Amino acid sequence: MEEKMIYKGIIFDLVSKDVKIKDKVYKRDIIRHPGGVGVICIVDGKILLVKQFRPAINSETLEIPAGKLEYGEDPMACGLRELNEETGMECEKLELLLSFVSTPGFCDERIWIYKAINPTKAKIQFAKDEDEEIDIVWLDLETAYEYTKNGKIDDGKTVIAISQIMAERNV
């Protein structure tokens, strides 16, 4: 089916696509996004979160360290980089917890969530992105889980990551 570029942006592209449903063609606007990676980092029962202002919702959020993939980039490499850039932490390795599509009704973004294995303070910290202002927050994992239930943490990838970790602990 035909797909036409409407907007080519820095973070995402917008296309108009013809889709066939029950032998009839409909137009759909679809956001093309390279995907993202989040890293859940837990040390001594505390989860590492970043607090930052998000202009799209005009509010500060508490999130797991995360970032956008470059097209073709390995998600694990992205996760290691983002963990270091945003928090000054590194780890022995990353273990994939899950991946999911964020909003498949109009966007093809896939997010990979990794768990940091044996995290430590980075020997060398990478520079943060110029347009980021991030504060580091260590929060008791149980408290963070409560925050996902009462809306103090409402970032989707973070809610999913914390819920997944809690589910695995209760198995």
Contact 66, 82 (CB under 8 A): yes
- Cβ neighbours for 113, distance < 8 A, ≥ 6 positions apart: 37, 38, 39, 40, 64, 96, 97, 98, 99, 100, 157, 160, 161, 164
Contact 114, 94 (CB under 8 A): yes
Residues annotated as catalytic are 130
